[in-house]
Structures are given as structure tokens and as C-alpha cells.
A and B are shown apart, each in its own frame.
Chain A
Amino acid sequence: MAHRTALTGNDAAAYALKQVNPDVAAVYPITPQTELMHKFASYVADGDVDTELVLVESEHSAMSATLSASLAGARSITATSSCGLALMWELLYVASGARAPIVMPEVNRALSAPINIHCDHSDTMGARDSGWMQIYAENAQESYDNILQAFRIAEHPDVKLPIMPCLDGFILSHTIEALEVLDDEKVKAFVGEYKPENSLLNVDKPVTFGAFALQDTYFEYKRQQVEAMRNAVKVIQDVGKEYGEISGRSYDLFETYMMDDAEVVIVGIGSTMGTVKFVVNQLRKEGIKAGVLKIRVFRPAPWDKVADALSGAKVVGVMDRSLSFGLEGGPLFNELRSFCRGKKFAMCDFIYGLGGRDIGVTHISDIIRGLHKAAKSGTEPEMLTFVNLRE
């Protein structure tokens, strides 16, 4: 039976992986992903899963081995953070180009230099053009739920793309929260078997994977990846609905909170959106009509639908937990803004929480009050603000 329990985000992710019992896991340690791996290794050591655990010598090899295992017809996983993801960079593109449905929990952490082990989204945001799907969690429950859905999404015949279910480093990965987990049989039935069309191990039908494509064939491969990402939109929505039927928790591309009459809307990703909802509840008591639009799926990007959902707003404040150096504002702001042309609301960006810099109720309250004031007076808000930064 489904039951309530208390787990850290890492343990919730590992629990989901335990229930899936993948064929192969190739992993390498990096903070803050390590405890996810420890937990999974203990499941292997106790015989709770019979996954082949390949303890490789780098993240580059982790992704290489996960990829070839996936092409060999094995349901394959790895997990990483930050510099680990950066070391995988080359192989991220190989994996998506090879259409390997790898599931890789990514525990978000800042990139060096200076070295920092805490949360921001610069690692995965840097990989946003790598052909991987990205789904972000707000809490441990979503970390768990997203991983289970990730297998269905990635392995869907219309998609066949790798996926990163992302969770905020430390804030989610190392914090114990209450969540509900499904029973093993339900998970097994939901996730199903992985049966790829071709396999490297099908010696009766030898297939060449990773062939050399020149000017006359390469482009078509990339076009097919575009199509797969387009297909993924519906698949993610369908899988989110189906998951709702077995768990009572449905998922879509994004979540709206108090949006019906909202004049001020905060758009953002990840754990901070939980705090924003709390602040919205408080400010609503003061008569400030604020709402939240939480991005769950960043790739494939749902911007057209998000732009429509924002139509009733007067001011939209985007919160970015990463930078795009040389471009004013973060990736979320700039991508979304390009779909909001002609909309009546004003838009601005708040860069926050880099390297784990604290983002609290007061900071968010100040942001919303400021946007509310701008909405009332009809003035344009400051386009770019760095939150809780010493200058």
C-alpha cells in the first residue's frame, strides 16, 4: 500500500530507483548527489535490487557506460551534480543523439570557480541545449514522483530521449520531508518493461550505433530530435495524468497557484517556489493579488502555454537561479520573454540564490510588494535585480 514516510530528497530519489530496479547503474560520487548513490548502493548490497552497479572512475565514464548499457537494451541510470554534469558534457550530446532513454537524477549545484557545493541551477541550465529533457522538483515528493514518471517519458516510442529529473542540492537533497510513496507492485506496473527496438546485444541482428554522419545525413538526425522533443510535450502530460490516477497526484508541464485573479505573478523553478507560495498566502491576506507559476518542465520548453497562462497578469517577476553571462537576465527570463511579445504585462528578472545564497520569506515578500507597487502605479519595474547580494 502507498504509505507516508519521511525521507531526504536524495533518499526519496533512491527509493524511486529501488522500486524501478533498473538493469544497470553506473555512478561516480559528487556532492550533493553522493547520498543518493550511497542509498542505492546499500539497496544493491542488501539484495533489494539486482541492478548491475558499475562504480566507474569518472562522470565521463559514468555517462559512457550508462549510455552503452542503455543501447545494449538495459534500463540504465546514473546520477550527478554540478562539475560531474560538466565532465559529462560531451556525452550528454552523444546520449541524446543516440536516442538513449537514460534517466539521470541531477542534484543541482553551482559550478566552479570559485568552487561551491551548494544549490543553484547553473549546472543543468548550461545543459539546456544538450537534447535532454529536464523536469524540476519543488520538494521530496516531487523528486520521487518525477523519477518514476521519467522512465515512462524517456522510454516512450515517440520520445526516446534521455531525461534529467532535477532536485535542488541540499535544500531538497539533504532535507527530510514527509512524502507518500507508492507500493512496489504499483510502481512496477506503472513503469513497465524496457523493450527497445534495437539492441547492441542482439547478435542475430547486428546494428551499428554511433555511425559517422556527414553533411548529407547529420542534419536529419537533429531534425528528428526536434520532433522527439515536440512529441515529449504530450507524453509528459499524458504520463502526468496517468500517474495522478495511481497516486492522486497529477502533473503537468507547469503548476499554477492562486493565478485566477493574480495581478502579480512569480515564475520560477524548484524548491524556492514552495517559499513563494507561502509568501503569496500571507500577502493575499493584505489584499495583494499575487500568484505563482511554477515551471516543472524546462525541456521541452512550455513557453507558449506559460505565456497564455500569464495573460491576466499585470506584472510578471521571473526568478532565475542561474546566469547567462553576457546576456542581461537568466535563461528562464530570456526564454520566456521571447514568447511574451504582445502580452500586456510587464516583465522583470530576479537573479537569486547563486551558490546557495539564502532566499527567504522576507526577500520574496519584498519582491512581490515591489511588483505590486509597480502594478498599481503603472510604472515599469527594474528589469534586472540581484536578490540578497552585497554590492
Chain B
Amino acid sequence: MPTTSLKKLCNTPDLLAPGHAACAGCTGSTILRQVLLAGQQDDVKLVCTCATGCMEVISTLMPLSAWRVPFFHSAFENSAASCSGAEAAYRALKKRGKIDRDIRFIAIGGDGGTYDIGFQSLSGALERGHRMLYICYDNNAYMNTGIQRSSATPKGAETTTAPVGKVKKGKEQHKKNLTAIAEAHGIKYVAQASPHNPADLMKKVQKALDNDGPSLMTILMPCHRGWRFDMPKAIAMAEMAVDCCYWPLFEIVEGKLKVSYKPKEKKPLADWALLQGRFKHLGKPENKHILDELQEKVDREWAAMLAREERDQAAG
């Protein structure tokens, strides 16, 4: 397994060059840097596709590109299909002796490009079994187009298309469970990670890329513009999301779930949620039931995850 030693990685040139146009305090570029540093090795090279969205827009502003690995942005809904085409080309050219390098493929998409508009394309690629890692940077809404709700937006969060008004109190539906859906395709590696824990994130990327088939990772991307929190707290927001078990870190290897990190003390969801403008209205007494419902959901799912881990690990 290649290294994730912080000391060594600090001395490795970034594969996403600085000078890109991400917002100050953006955690998306942090995620990409971690993913690329983990994936590219002396003898293993990366090729990336990316859906339309924040990370594409900020990194390829003509005539500049921040990408130091081959990169293709095609459209919003087809990062997975694009990646599968590139991977098929690789297999074809390798078979015909026209290429001898060891190349791994990473498809990137935000939650809008993955949970919503790119969902079919993702499902198709997972089912076909291309050797590729799909990375969804999940900032819980369509941030690039101006903070609209997606199927990854948690219930109760305020967005520009699910605003808090006199009658409606933000998004009315719960978030879609993407990792469960990915797992249902029978793929061998599914994981969830967070940029506040680079060692864990990078180990998962390396495991995923070693898998001779499709893998999927969802990575939480706190967005101070969309979530409305104090900008320097972006990475801390990721950590708090993990500590309150809104965003548990886990991996599912060949159907067996393992929780990667268990907080010593599981924090209340409100500690994290109420630091964010998008959940501010949930602090009002009349909206307490929404916050309670979110807390119940987190508790239920965390307990179920721990129970499943015990079952899966006991089964060996």
C-alpha cells in the first residue's frame, strides 16, 4: 500500500495546482488534492473526468488549468459515463499494445451531478463494472448554481429553492442514501470520508483504486457559502459532522461494513447544525420537531451501522 504519511506528502508536489478560482475556505479543492496525492504513484498514473460544477469551474478557467493529471470535463450528468468511455479506450489500446502504462480512472462529481442528474450514468457505470473510482464531493446542495436543493440536501436545510418562509421550513425530504444504492450494485468497495481526516480519506482512495472494478466514495465538503458558517471553520465543520454522526466514516469492502472512526462522545446534532445559517431556523421552538426528527434519524442510522458492523465483522 502506498504511503499516506503526512510528512512525505507535504514534500510531494500537488497535482491540483494552486491559483485556481475556488472560494476562500473551500474544502472541495482540499478534497481533490488529497484524492490526487493518494492516487498517483510513480508507477500508477491517474486520469480524471469531472461533472460540471464547482470543482470543474474553478479549476479549468481557459486558458489555465490547475490539473496536473489528464482531465476531461464533458457535461453535468455524465462524469461516470465519460470515465467509463476513457477506461474502455484504455482497455482497448492496452489490448492492442498501444499503451503500456498502469492508469487508474477517477470520475468526480458534486452531489447534484451524482445523486440527481448523473444518477443514471453512475448506476450504468457501476453495473457495467468499469475499473474506476467515483468520487462524489457532497456539499449537500447545488452550490455552483447558487445553493439550490438537491437530493443530498438534508431535511430542514434552507436552500434558495427550498427557502424558509411563513409556511415552509426548508427542505421537506430526507437525504438520499447514495452509499447504500451504490452498494446495491454489488460493487466491491464503497466508502465515506471527510477532508478533516486526510489519512483515512487517502487510505480509502488507495484501497478503492486497488479494487479491480468500480468503487464509490462520498466525501463531505463543507461549503461556508451554502451552509453559512464562519469561513475559517470549514475543516472543523467536517470534523463536527463526523463527531455528531451526521457523516460517519466507514467503508464497505465486499459487502462487509467497517466503521472507520467512532467518536468517544457522540455529540448532539444541534452542536453542529446550529452553527450553520441553513439550519438556524431549527433553533426556534416552533421548529424543534424538525431538529428532533433529524437527531432521531442520525441516532437510528448510527445504531444500525454499529449493529451491522458487528454482524459483518463477526461473520469474518
Instruction: Indicate the size class of the contact surface on chain A.
Output: 35 or more
| B74 touches A (CB below 8 Å) | yes
Q: Which residues of B are found within 8 Å of A273, using beta-carbon distances? A: none
* Nearest Cβ on chain B to A64's Cβ, whole angstroms: 4
Q: When each residue 16-53 of chain B gets 1 if its CB lies under 8 Å from chain A and 0 otherwise, what string results?
A: 00000000000000000000000000000111010000
| B194 touches A (CB below 8 Å) | no
- The residue of chain B having its C-beta at the shortest distance from the C-beta of A207 within the complex is B70
Q: Which residues of B are found within 8 Å of A74, using beta-carbon distances? A: 88-89, 92-93
Which of the 9-residue segments A176-184, A210-218, A236-244, A296-304 touches chain B?
A210-218
Complex CA gap A371/B92 in Å reads 55
Complex CA gap A209/B50 in Å reads 10
Q: When each residue 42-74 of chain A gets 1 if its CB lies under 8 Å from chain B and 0 otherwise, what string results?
A: 000000001110111110110011111111111
Q: Which residues of A are found within 8 Å of B57, using beta-carbon distances? A: 212
Chain B residues 139-188 with CB under 8 Å of chain A are none
Q: Which residues of A are found within 8 Å of B62, using beta-carbon distances? A: 211-214, 216-217
> Which among A23, A56, A64, A66 has the highest number of chain B CB atoms within 10 Å?
A64
B45–A24 CB distance below 8 A: no
B85–A69 CB distance below 8 A: yes
Number of B interface residues, CB 8 Å? 47
Q: Which residues of B are found within 8 Å of A23, using beta-carbon distances? A: 89, 92-93, 96
Across the interface, A72 reaches (CB within 8 A) one of B61, B67, B90, B123, namely B90
* Nearest Cβ on chain A to B78's Cβ, whole angstroms: 4
Complex CA gap A132/B83 in Å reads 23
B85–A90 CB distance below 8 A: no
B69–A206 CB distance below 8 A: yes
Across the interface, A201 reaches (CB within 8 A) one of B71, B74, B82, B90, namely B90
| A338 touches B (CB below 8 Å) | no
| B72 touches A (CB below 8 Å) | yes
Q: Which residues of A are found within 8 Å of B65, using beta-carbon distances? A: 208, 211
A69–B61 CB distance below 8 A: no
* Nearest Cβ on chain B to A73's Cβ, whole angstroms: 6
Whether A72 contacts B60 in the complex (CB less than 8 A), given A67-B74, A203-B103, comes out as: no
Q: When each residue 354-373 of chain A gets 1 if its CB lies under 8 Å from chain B and 0 otherwise, what string results?
A: 00000000000000000000
Q: Which residues of A are found within 8 Å of B103, using beta-carbon distances? A: 201, 203
A71–B124 CB distance below 8 A: no
B72–A209 CB distance below 8 A: yes
A203–B96 CB distance below 8 A: no
Complex CA gap A26/B71 in Å reads 20
* Nearest Cβ on chain B to A109's Cβ, whole angstroms: 23
* Nearest Cβ on chain A to B65's Cβ, whole angstroms: 4
Q: Which residues of B are found within 8 Å of A82, using beta-carbon distances? A: none
B86–A200 CB distance below 8 A: yes
Q: Which residues of B are found within 8 Å of A209, using beta-carbon distances? A: 70-73
Q: Which residues of B are found within 8 Å of A66, using beta-carbon distances? A: 85
B96–A61 CB distance below 8 A: no
Q: Which residues of A are found within 8 Å of B92, using beta-carbon distances? A: 23-24, 50-52, 69, 74
Chain A residues 63-111 with CB under 8 Å of chain B are 64-74, 76, 90-91, 94, 98
B93–A57 CB distance below 8 A: no
Whether A210 contacts B70 in the complex (CB less than 8 A), given A50-B96, A54-B88, comes out as: no
* Nearest Cβ on chain B to A219's Cβ, whole angstroms: 12
B75–A203 CB distance below 8 A: no
- The residue of chain B having its C-beta at the shortest distance from the C-beta of A56 within the complex is B124
Q: Which residues of B are found within 8 Å of A377, using beta-carbon distances? A: none
Whether A52 contacts B88 in the complex (CB less than 8 A), given A23-B93, A57-B121, comes out as: yes
Whether A24 contacts B89 in the complex (CB less than 8 A), given A90-B75, A208-B71, A211-B62, comes out as: yes
Q: Which residues of B are found within 8 Å of A69, using beta-carbon distances? A: 85-86, 88-89, 92
Q: Which residues of A are found within 8 Å of B91, using beta-carbon distances? A: 52
Q: Can you list 5 contacts pairing A with B, beta carbon distance less than 8 Å?
A: A51-B92, A72-B93, A200-B86, A203-B70, A208-B71
Q: Enumerate chain A interface residues (CB-CB to B < 8 A).
A: 23-24, 26, 50-52, 54-58, 60-61, 64-74, 76, 90-91, 94, 98, 199-203, 206-214, 216-217
Q: Enumerate chain B interface residues (CB-CB to A < 8 A).
A: 45-47, 49, 56-57, 60-63, 65, 67-75, 77-78, 81-86, 88-93, 95-96, 98-99, 101, 103, 120-121, 123-125, 127-128
The 6 closest A-B pairs by CB, nearest first: A65-B85, A57-B124, A72-B89, A68-B85, A74-B89, A61-B81
